[in-house]
Amino acid sequence: MEKVLITGANSYIGVSFENYVKENYNNELQVDTVDMIDGTWRNKDFSPYDIVFHVAGLAHADVGKVSEEIKAKYYAINTDLAIETCKKAKNEGVKQFVFMSSAIIYGDSAPYGKTKRINADTIPQPSNFYGDSKWQADKGVRALADDTFKVTVLRPPMIYGKGSKGNYPTLAKMAKKLPIFPDIDNERSMLYIENLCEFLCQVMINNKEGIFWPQNAEYTKTSQMVKVIGEVTGHKVMVSKMFNWGITIASKMPGKISGLTNKAFGNMSYDSNMSCYDFDYQVASLRESIRRTEG
């Protein structure tokens, strides 16, 4: 049995993973958690653990007008804390360090009407301090890997599931209220939380190392997702191209309007080949994942 220490308490991913292990891999993985908010974690002995899973971090940054103090906080937590935790794990004999990086290191989504398909050779180019704080950590923890210390970095796209925060709940709220929604042909990679948890279990049980890009088996189209959310919650949403001209205009307007439009209808996807591995982690299809999220 592999002993896993989650560094970062009460995070959506950490709690979901711990619950998933209890339900599905209780005989293979044993999970403990340590809070990283104060400095007491530095006194905890990491040596009894085979794996440290680092989830502590700041996310969902408002990258508009932000003070230098706020930016420094993101680097302190997302970068410095991650690297310090990785060094402690290595020094105390932990054999694997699993780090949650993010697709945000590749910059923003392509604006409405443009495409953005990322492959394994795409060089990360963060577009703001939040993305850069994750990128610096991504590089920093990988630099500590050696023959006896495996580092596993995940760069997932948008994660969603029951109780998740971020863009999905906003989209779901619209899907349950709007009678009609624009039928825009965009393409996004997403990752359902249970698919992520299964992926994590596999890389831990099999001691996988390197960079990984887990995603759902299916790409997501915003209008399709809205329609499915409506269907599974009993609210019929008609998707139509009759209002697409409005999205085109909104995408060209300066300021927040274009930003929100491009966020909702822009494109950002991983090449499907880079997310196929020698194990299966697709627990739920897109429709089933939405049913479980809304159930």
In a domain, 227, yes or no: no
Question: 10 lies in which domain range?
Answer: 2-165+190-217+269-283
pLDDT score for 264: 83
The count of domains in the chain is: 1
Written as six digits, the tokens of 199 are 């992926």
In a domain, 84, yes or no: yes
Continuous H helices in the chain: 12-24, 68-74, 81-91, 129-142, 167-175, 193-205, 222-232, 244-252, 256-265, 286-294
Backbone angles phi, psi at 19, to 5 degrees: -65, -40
In a domain, 288, yes or no: no
CA dihedral sign, ordered 172, 175, 181, 187: positive
In a domain, 74, yes or no: yes
pLDDT score for 61: 63
pLDDT score for 250: 86
DSSP assignments along 218-266, one per residue:
S-B-HHHHHHHHHHHTT---EEEGGGHHHHHHHHHSTTHHHHHHHHHH-
pLDDT score for 248: 87
pLDDT score for 273: 95
In a domain, 243, yes or no: no
pLDDT, one tens digit per residue, over 233-273 is 999 999 999 988 888 888 888 877 887 788 888 899 999 99
Give the neighbor-by-neighbor strand order of the sheet with 29-34. Answer: 29-34, 2-7, 51-54, 96-100, 150-154, 210-212
Q: Which of 44, 41, 43, 37 shows the shortest CA–CA distance to 11?
A: 37
- Tens-of-pLDDT digits for all 295 residues of the chain? 999 999 999 999 999 999 999 999 999 999 999 999 989 999 999 999 999 999 999 886 666 677 889 899 999 999 999 999 999 999 999 999 999 999 999 998 888 888 999 999 999 999 999 999 999 999 999 999 999 999 999 999 999 999 998 889 988 998 999 999 999 999 999 999 999 999 999 999 999 999 999 999 999 999 999 999 999 999 999 999 998 888 888 888 887 788 778 888 889 999 999 999 999 999 999 999 999 999 8
In a domain, 14, yes or no: yes
In a domain, 293, yes or no: no
In a domain, 207, yes or no: yes
- CATH number of the CATH domain containing 81: 3.40.50.720
Sequence-distant (6+) residues with CB within 8 A of 30 are 1, 2, 3, 4
pLDDT score for 245: 86
Written as six digits, the tokens of 198 are 């299964």
pLDDT score for 254: 80
pTM: 0.94
The 3-state DSSP class for residue 96 equals strand
